[in-house]
Structure 1
Amino acid sequence: MNKLEQIGAQELLSMLSDEELMSVKDTVTKSMIPANTRSEAVDACLKCSQSAMQLLRRKKIRRDILMQYLARKSISVSAGTDKVRLVKQIIEYWNNGSSSISTSLSSPSDLSSINQLSHQFTEWFYTSWNNLTTFTPDHFFPDCQLTLVHENQRRISAAYYVCETLRSYITSQDLHFYPNIQSNKAEESKHGLVLIQVHGTIHQRGTCIGIFDQSFGLVRDPTHSNNYLIKFSFLNMQTQQAQQTALLSTNQPTPTYLIDILQNYDQTIQQQIDSTDYIIDEDDDDDDE
């Protein structure tokens, strides 16, 4: 499998229950490779499958799961479509329609709009987070900050600790986060800070247990080929049914603290520009003897 197929397969396998995933792993590996966690099972499935077609045609990866996956990607499919055709559609999507999933994000010149960047980032981030294979501190600025709104605004600083905190939700609590990309909101400040708001559902061992909303601040980093890196993130998780309507509403205005961040970022950049003394070295006088 190529890299795009591996990333897509990781996301699809995460939709299986623990029992189904371990069963697929045993079939693919002929029960020769043990796995203690879901991430280990997914990794074994990818390493021991000769192709994406071979993996997706396994009996435990049922037709209804394939249809659910396509529905999540807003890909229309006839109710009577057989499994072989569904598999081909998914593999074609991974290789052609899913080029936005990567371990880095393109600069704005490669994007038609800020909304496209929003969708591209969201699909990449949550696929990477849920499966952890490519989820590393390299995607965060060294001074990145994560604010956990649901933990009384607890703040984590530095790329390594932010990454490890987010990883712990997957490794320790076996949670998986599924964004509703169509409800995304995105804004960009005049100095290039991109603010993205995401809403979605939280799942644990195949059961939906709550909802979340998460905001990201992205800034381009010239040292990473001008790719976007995460400057900050706010994460709020809720499991109370009564709060779902307010949290997931696409008509909610942008929180004032996020608007303030956009404005403060531009003001800080402008202050840095105004306070900098630019010195241009003059060439030596060639006539000096």
Structure 2
Amino acid sequence: MSHMSLKEQSGCRKLLRLLTLDDLLALKDTVTNRLIAVESTQEAIEAIITYSKDAEELLKRKKVHRDVIFKYLANEGVAILPNSDKHQLVWRTIELWSSGEISRHEKNTVIKDEVGDGLSDLAALGKQFCQWFFSLLNSQNPSQGPPVQDWGPQHFWEDVRLRLLLCTGEQRVDEFNGAQMVSQRLHALAGEERLLFCPNLEGSGLKYVSSPHGLVVVAVAGTIHRDNACLGIFEQVFGLIRSPMDDNRWKIKYVYIKVEAQGAITERQLPCITYDSKELLRFCN
């Protein structure tokens, strides 16, 4: 019978809910040697957990596909490299369940492994936030397969503002207000316009600054692609504030995106942030 901790059992339940019904029932048959009949998804999940030797054995089963584990970890707010293989994902999941850390849905932090109070190490916070945000946004692009993560207004403050500056010969500025509108407009960049954002998270591609009032500004530069073509470069500035109503997690208060089309780009090696700290703080006021 199962030797799983309560934490592993609860993690397995969440993970198994991400399986297709066919895979779930096939997995139940394998684990129970077809000896247990079930009438519902819930019963199938409980049978699988009861008859699995341990969490690792279950995660290594063929029907628990790499993408399912990836999706589970992403939902828990765990930063993972998109090209991690199944073995690495299994190890990361076991590590998550065996550690004392509480997952995002229990604690609801957007950014995992927050460093101290988050302000003491802005570099780690800025990098983790960007990894989380762009993996979330890119996963909404249909060319990336089914979306692995939950995009939505819950990641933004109710009064969030978005400014979108497009430089394609002439300049065009669009503004959007409110969590619903901003969330939809950003989603459309990946979903309808099929853009992929590749942030430069090293050196001059990333800048961060905090204000005395708890606002953290993260600026990142990178390239924008569609299919195999590079369309141009972007600079994106985020204003982040913790939400005491929402278990103190970081939520997005302000977004500024400047996109330069390929034709408008002067020779620059790697995309880098062109704003200084004062300008970055001014954006969010």
Distance in 2, matches of 1:53 and 1:261, equals 40
- Say whether 1:221 aligns with 2:234: no
Deviation, 1:202, is 1.4
Q: Quickly say closer, same or farther: Cα 1:68–1:229, change in 2 above 3 A.
A: closer
1:179-258, aligned counterparts within 5 Å?
A: 179-182=199-202, 183-241=205-263, 243=265, 245-246=267-268, 248-250=270-272, 252-254=274-276, 257-258=279-280
Q: Quickly say closer, same or farther: Cα 1:189–1:207, change in 2 above 3 A.
A: same
CA contact (8 A) 2:219 2:273 kept: no
Name the SS of the counterpart of 2:232 in structure 1. strand
Residue 172 of structure 2 aligns with which residue? 152
> Match for 1:226: what amino acid?
N
Name the SS of the counterpart of 1:123 in structure 2. helix
- Say whether 1:128 aligns with 2:136: yes
- Say whether 1:105 aligns with 2:121: no
> Match for 2:138: what amino acid?
N
Q: Quickly say closer, same or farther: Cα 1:89–1:191, change in 2 above 3 A.
A: same
Residue 178 of structure 1 aligns with which residue? 198
What are structure 2's unaligned runs of at least 5 residues? 1-10, 17-22, 24-61, 70-80, 141-148
CA contact (8 A) 2:206 2:273 kept: no
Distance in 2, matches of 1:197 and 1:93, equals 29
Residue 285 of structure 1 aligns with which residue? none
Higher helix share: 1
- Say whether 1:88 aligns with 2:87: yes
Q: Quickly say closer, same or farther: Cα 1:255–1:224, change in 2 above 3 A.
A: same
> Match for 1:120: what amino acid?
Q
CA contact (8 A) 1:177 1:202 kept: yes
Q: Quickly say closer, same or farther: Cα 1:170–1:178, change in 2 above 3 A.
A: same
> Match for 1:138: what amino acid?
Q
**Deviates further, 238-247 or 119-128:** 238-247
- Say whether 1:50 aligns with 2:102: no
Q: Quickly say closer, same or farther: Cα 1:87–1:166, change in 2 above 3 A.
A: same
Give the ranges of 4+ consecutive aligned residues of structure 1 lying more than 6 Å apart after TM superposition: 1-6
What are structure 1's unaligned runs of at least 5 residues? 7-27, 29-48, 57-66, 71-85, 266-289
TM-score normalized by structure 2?
0.57
Name the SS of the counterpart of 1:162 in structure 2. helix
Q: Quickly say closer, same or farther: Cα 1:224–1:68, change in 2 above 3 A.
A: closer
**Deviates further, 150-159 or 116-125:** 150-159
Deviation track 1:65-103 (CA, whole Å, cap 9, x = no partner) reads xx9946xxxxxxxxxxxxxxx653465467769x9x967
CA contact (8 A) 2:109 2:247 kept: no
Deviation track 1:36-82 (CA, whole Å, cap 9, x = no partner) reads xxxxxxxxxxxxx82244889xxxxxxxxxx9946xxxxxxxxxxxx
Residue 83 of structure 1 aligns with which residue? none
Name the SS of the counterpart of 1:181 in structure 2. coil
Deviation, 1:206, is 3.6
Distance in 1, matches of 2:232 and 2:122, equals 28
Deviation, 1:207, is 3.1
